[in-house]
Amino acid sequence: MKQKPLFIAFSTQKGGAGKSTFTALASSLLHYAHGYNVAVIDCDYPQCSIYEMRKREIRQLENNLYYQAKAVTLLEAIDKQTYPIVCARPEEGISKANEFLASESMEYDVVFFDLPGTINNEGVVSTFLNMDYVFVPMSPSRMSMESTLSFIIPVTELIASHKQLSLKSVHLFWNRVDSRVRKEWLEHYAKIIGDFKLSLLDTVIPQSARYDKEQSVSGNDAVFLSTIFPPDKQLVRGSNIDFLIEEVKQIVGLNRNDHAGEQ
């Protein structure tokens, strides 16, 4: 009998906070560079941005020999294909995931869910609560903090009072932190988060244009954000995405020895 994979989501109540970006980055790093089998259920309906990113990348590969060769080299090295991405309505996310897993011969370690930017109906809430772990990116601003806390505090109270829920824990982390943000501001916000007994990761993601850097239509630019490649090492340096993934792995219990798939 197959072992149930972990269901993990990056989720926010604020558009543009980076949930889809982190879903794609985490999926690509774990699948291509860390030796795990990953699938993605893209519930950010109807735009399904990760699903559409994959389609866009495939079209670009058809006309770019450099990326074609790079993809062949990577997939041969790790001896598996690109991770599957299934587009689904948010209220159908769990059922679509279970249908997909039942139809696959491969065993998956992690299924990432890209949830909508607003959890505003019972079906979406149900999908959210069926995650094993949720990670919440937030920027160090009052508006982002208020939006995040108003969303997360009731969730953590629900987890505490309903032990039968699949959702084990929710973890916040700083995203898009400008170098001009004073350390005391982060410490002030961290204290507020601590006062509510919420979990805040150690990793801080800096403001950086590389988080929007996809493969180019032509040429051979280094790639950071992709569903077909892990981030190039030269772009990983200073991004802190590697530290974030290691912290996530530790929290969710992914301890397998990494594979050398990263290019």
**DSSP string over 172-187:** EEEEEE-TTS-HHHHH
pLDDT at site 263: 41
Token pair belonging to 247: 């912290």
Q: What is the value of pTM for the model shown?
A: 0.92
Is residue 176 a contact partner of residue 207, using CB atoms and an 8 Å limit?
yes
For 28-42, how does the pLDDT look when each residue is reduced to its tens digit (9 = 90+)? 999 999 999 999 999
Residue ranges and CATH numbers for the domains of the chain are 6-133+209-250 (3.40.50)
Token pair belonging to 74: 């990577």
Sign of CA dihedral 150, 193, 43, 122: negative
CB atoms within 10 A of CB 145: 16
Token pair belonging to 251: 């929290």
Q: How far apart are CA 17 and CA 116, in angstroms?
A: 12
Q: What is the DSSP string of 95-140?
A: HHHHHHHHH-SS--SEEEEE--S---SHHHHHHHHT-SEEEEEE-S
Residue 39's H or E segment, with its range, is: strand 38-42
Give, for all 263 residues of the chain, the pLDDT tens digit. 678 999 999 998 766 668 999 999 999 999 999 999 999 999 998 899 999 999 999 999 999 999 999 999 999 999 999 999 999 999 999 999 999 999 999 999 999 999 987 766 677 888 999 999 999 999 888 888 888 888 888 888 888 888 789 999 999 999 999 887 778 888 888 999 999 999 999 999 999 988 887 777 677 889 999 999 999 999 999 999 999 999 999 999 997 544 444 44
For 221-247, how does the pLDDT look when each residue is reduced to its tens digit (9 = 90+)? 899 999 999 999 999 999 999 999 999
pLDDT at site 145: 83
